[in-house]
Amino acid sequence: MTAEAPFPTYDFLGLSLMELDVPTTAAAIVARAPDAPFAYVSTSNAQHVVWMDRGVVPNLRRAHLKAWLRTNDSRVLRLVGRVMFGRRNMPVTCGSDLTVELLRHHLRPDDTISVIGGDDVLVAEMRRQFRFAALHQFQPPMGLLNNPAARAACVDFIVAHPARYVFIACGYPQSELIAFEAAGRGGRHRPVHRQFAAVRDRPRRSRAPVDATSDPGMAAPPDHRSSAPGPADLQRFGSHAVDCRKDATWPPESRGPGPRGRCRRAMSDGVADTGIRRRGRVLRPVRVSARVITEAGGQVAGDSAAKVAVLLFVLPMFGQTFHYIFDVPPLYFLSKGWPGLTAPLILIGLSRGRLPATPLFLFMLAYVLAFTPLLSMINLGNGVFDALATTAKALPMTYYFSLSGLLILMKPTARTIERLLFALGIATYFAMVFMWVTVPASWYASDAVSSKIFVYEIERGYRIYMPMFFGNLFLFMCVRYALARPKLRWLLVAVPICLAIDILIYKQRTAIGCAVLVVGLGIVAGMPRGLRNLAWTAGLALAATIVFVVLTGSIDEGFSQTFGGSLSVRQTSIALAVDYLIAEPLRLVFGVGSITRFSTVTMFDLFGYKHFYLADLGWPGVVFEYGALGSALIAATSFMSLMITQGNAADRDPLSLALYDIVLYCILTTVVYSVMFTPGETATAAALSIYLFRMRRAAATSSGPSSHWARP
């Protein structure tokens, strides 16, 4: 690696490329020193291979090799590399995707921008959507390829208008030649305290085309033709696939009738450069005030104060913040009744949401809400009221549909949801610290009847049992936003602070351990590949060591003492539950049901053990209540929520990644805690993830969010 090539390169079909994805490329552009000389990014596709091989354009190869960053812009090239040459790591970084990433996540309204190409509509939309304070545009005439004087005028404009970012949207290979010629002047005309990063950008055929009139990542002016290879190019290439397998890294001189030349020529048909000739002119920059914009759709955040207030109130209800906090009776009873109050929204979520895995969720709800209460009446002697009351803990699973229905009706912006989740997470930790400092010791109780929040135990001392859905989500958001956006790296400071508060005040060992594990996985995922592999190796070695030590019983006594009496209580309860289930096979298959604290028959009556609580047994407790069949359905919905949130975060959106993290955290904690203790947390995270994903997809396809809720 050198200053000219800051990342490792590899040769492929005569191209010199770097293994860079879109977030890494954007981060490298933004991180470049402000006083560095002009540099540009080349996003190469199949047309590069053909034109450089044929020598159609003078200096084209030099322009490609001179580029500071060189990425692969072609899925066809990636397919060829994977199928024919076994190259597995060949990420695709399209110019349009890179532009979207820069505009949405990195560029600020006070950044100075220069645009070469485009029309009045393009620059007007950029000013309207992104509120750039200083935006310069030069509209060159067409025919730049054969007009050195016109290209020189573009370079003169770049030099005369210092800007932190320069977007060149003049088509291929004109954009690359302009950037190359501008770089040739960079040493003599380098402005002070300015960074140049030129990005060649053009429209392309894709599943989610970008529309300059509605999407913040306007790819290019509408009068340029796409030069990306389509299915026909792939078909033509396939006719010579066998002959090309011998060598994927031939030098540029190897042209001609041989197999390597045929391989390149196979991708060359049907490429043309068309356009309407127009006169060059300069548009003066217009100063506008900077305003906050949303992440999805590029619209100015416009949610009313009333809408924000409603969301601020209902989100804690959906997150089950007060579901067990009887210390605050009004909110406690409201949380218990929230599934019933939001039941009408379920119909909206079902009819208009077209949510993934709807049949699975409905079948699971029918089993746990109808069949299991019937079993509790048979096995445990519950009355009708007691049997229905046992379903209270399962009702929050309906939030998957009801919260989706509410979001469909309210249509909040992604920016509003993002800020509210940050605010609720900060409020969680602030409230915990405030109560720890101000509440006297006399308020703490050693039993679960006097207080749920303020707890005193011999092993752990004084602690505050705080509902941590939004607190943990805030923790994961800090990690994901810090890794995704270099300007927010300071958020990593909050991570050890929050974990220290958890350890000193919250003191839920399993929950804290799972949170640390998820944070670690998020950090490892954001590392470069070499460090990531090293971290995975170290983590697996540590896990293997822990498993070996536990299985050999080397720390059995100390391990038990660390958990005090809670571990022995769980072990005794699990043994009693297993003995009860295997006494009759049907209990193991369909479950036994459960009781409430108001039932005439208690668990003490059944087992003679006063510390028997199903919520503390993890999956054994779930199997006891719902049987193997019901547990399989519940596990399937949990892992389906994980898959949904993971798929929705495929574009590396930090908020969607944090929602995936919270679902993963909820699943990990089921090792000790029952998955049915707060099932609304997973349902809420999945509903938010689906809504945010469809907001981004709506922005990418130039449709409003509401239209996408009606699509299958």
Per-residue pLDDT at 603: 59
At residue 444, does pLDDT exceed 50?
yes
Please tell me the chain's helix, strand, coil percentages from 3-state DSSP, rounded to the nearest 5: 60, 10, 35
Tell me the DSSP string of 605-638: HHHS-TT--GGGSSHHHHHHHHHHHHHHHHHHHH
Q: How far is CA 524 from the centre of its chain?
A: 15
Per-residue pLDDT at 268: 38
At residue 489, does pLDDT exceed 70?
yes
Per-residue pLDDT at 225: 32
For residue 586, CA distances in Å to 537, 636, 684 come to 44, 21, 33
Per-residue pLDDT at 434: 95
In sequence order, the 6+-apart residues with CB closer than 8 A to the CB of 78 are: 72, 90, 91, 92
How many of the other CB atoms lie within 10 Å of CB of 561? Answer: 12
Partners of 199 in beta bridges: 41, 167
**449 falls in which pLDDT band (50, 70, 90)?**
confident
Per-residue pLDDT at 437: 94
Per-residue pLDDT at 286: 40
For residue 122, CA distances in Å to 42, 131, 132, 169, 212 come to 22, 13, 13, 11, 7
The one-letter amino acid code at 572 reads T
Task: Please give the Cα distance from 260 to 254 (Å, whole number).
Answer: 7
The more confidently predicted of residues 106 and 477 is 477
Secondary structure (3-state) at 103: helix
Residue 488 burial (CB < 10 Å; 0-12/13-18/19+)? middle
Buried b (16+ CB within 10 A) or exposed e, 541-556: eeeeeeeeeeeeeeee
Per-residue pLDDT at 29: 84
At residue 194, does pLDDT exceed 70?
no
Task: Please give the Cα distance from 393 to 340 (Å, whole number).
Answer: 12
Residue 57 burial (CB < 10 Å; 0-12/13-18/19+)? middle
Torsion of CA 74, 75, 78, 80, to 10 degrees: -100
Per-residue pLDDT at 224: 35
Structure-token pair, residue 160: 């005369």
Tokens 């939309």 -> residue: 125
At residue 288, does pLDDT exceed 50?
no
pLDDT tens per residue across span 666-693: 999 988 888 888 899 999 999 999 999 9
At residue 102, does pLDDT exceed 90?
no
* Nearest CA among 8, 13, 9, 11 for reference residue 229: 13
The one-letter amino acid code at 562 reads T
At residue 602, does pLDDT exceed 80?
no
Per-residue pLDDT at 157: 85
Q: What is the mean pLDDT of residues 273-290?
A: 39
At residue 243, does pLDDT exceed 70?
no
Per-residue pLDDT at 164: 80
Per-residue pLDDT at 422: 95
**572 falls in which pLDDT band (50, 70, 90)?**
low
The more confidently predicted of residues 243 and 470 is 470
Ranking 164-173, 188-197, 248-257, 593-602 by mean pLDDT, the lowest is 188-197
Please name the helix (run of DSSP H) or strand (run of DSSP E) that holds residue 9, with its range, or none.
Answer: strand 9-12
Tell me the DSSP string of 108-131: -TTSEEEEEE--HHHHHHHHHHH-
At residue 615, does pLDDT exceed 70?
no
Q: What is the mean pLDDT of residues 688-706?
A: 74
pTM of the model: 0.58
**596 falls in which pLDDT band (50, 70, 90)?**
low
Secondary structure (3-state) at 439: coil
Ranking 27-31, 115-119, 599-603, 616-620 by mean pLDDT, the lowest is 599-603
Per-residue pLDDT at 202: 35
Q: What is the mean pLDDT of residues 213-241?
A: 36
Do residues 491 and 425 make contact, with C-beta atoms less than 8 angstroms apart?
Answer: no
In sequence order, the 6+-apart residues with CB closer than 8 A to the CB of 361 are: 355, 397, 400, 401, 637, 640
At residue 316, does pLDDT exceed 60?
yes
Partners of 635 in beta bridges: none
Q: What is the mean pLDDT of residues 253-269?
A: 41
Per-residue pLDDT at 667: 93
At residue 696, does pLDDT exceed 80?
yes
pLDDT tens per residue across span 379-434: 777 677 777 777 788 899 999 999 999 999 999 999 999 999 999 999 999 999 99
Secondary structure (3-state) at 301: coil
Secondary structure (3-state) at 480: helix
Task: Please give the Cα distance from 316 to 542 (Å, whole number).
Answer: 37
Do residues 93 and 20 make contact, with C-beta atoms less than 8 angstroms apart?
Answer: yes
Mean pLDDT rounded to a whole number for the chain: 75
Per-residue pLDDT at 349: 93
Question: Percent of the chain, pLDDT > 90?
Answer: 28
In sequence order, the 6+-apart residues with CB closer than 8 A to the CB of 607 are: 576, 580
Do residues 219 and 96 make contact, with C-beta atoms less than 8 angstroms apart?
Answer: yes
In sequence order, the 6+-apart residues with CB closer than 8 A to the CB of 529 are: 19, 89
* Nearest CA among 175, 171, 271 for reference residue 223: 171
Per-residue pLDDT at 235: 38
Q: What is the mean pLDDT of residues 116-134?
A: 80
